Amino acid sequence: MVHKGFLDAYDSVRRTCFRLLDDITGSGEKAGGRPWRVLVTGHSLGGALATLAAYELAERRTPARSIQRISLYSYGAPRVGNKAFAEVFDRLVPDTWRITNANDIVPSVPRLMGYCHVGHAVRLGADGVLRVGRSTAEGVSTDVFGEGKAGMEVIQDIVSQVQDQSRPWDEVYEEIKEREMQLLNALVGGQGLEEHMETFYLASLQQAVQAAAAAGGAGGAGQQGAVKK
């Protein structure tokens, strides 16, 4: 299952994009026998459409597909499909990197409806620090309720944490409240929208590159401080 609105927007441009791509790559490999590396990218809604495009490009069974290696880089993209879609996507396009700013509100939607993020999550934090992991990994998911869970599953998960895992209800409640307040404050205070803008992503990426360059110049061990898994 994928979001109908994103799918309709994607369907309006897919034929033109695919035709141009196949015309460029032609029916043969690049010089030296290497396949074409197709980089699919987009920001916000463009990131959602890029996700659908990368999925279809990787799934195609055409002569052009045989000489195309698909990679996806998205920025501030919302969730596109359910957990089943995300699992198939991750098998088809393992070279997927979903970049988000720490307080960007858009990657947190849609939520509580079974939608799930895809690929490797890259969180751009303060001072150029990156957090890298799978989208469903603890501390990387944009949602305190986790990925790919609908309303009833969320309730069952909360009950399970209290009963099966013997976590105090107050601890579970405070964890949920803290994350929900962070989202609300980011939205009300304007950070959630400010950090979603393309210019903010550009600034965050420049800061990350500068931090990585500085760490690399200080020695191999220092570089680990700029990237956390």
**Contact indicator for 110, 4 with CB cutoff of 8 Å:** no
Is 204 one of the annotated active-site residues of the chain? no
Q: Which candidate in 12, 23, 27, 44 is catalytic?
A: 44
Establish whether 44 is a catalytic residue: yes
Residue 202 neighbours by CB distance under 10 Å: 12
**Among 74, 104, 108, 141, which one carries the catalytic annotation?**
104
Contacts of 37 (CB under 8 A, 6+ apart): 68, 69, 71
Q: Which residues pair with 99 in a beta bridge?
A: 75, 122
Q: Which residues are catalytic?
A: 44, 104
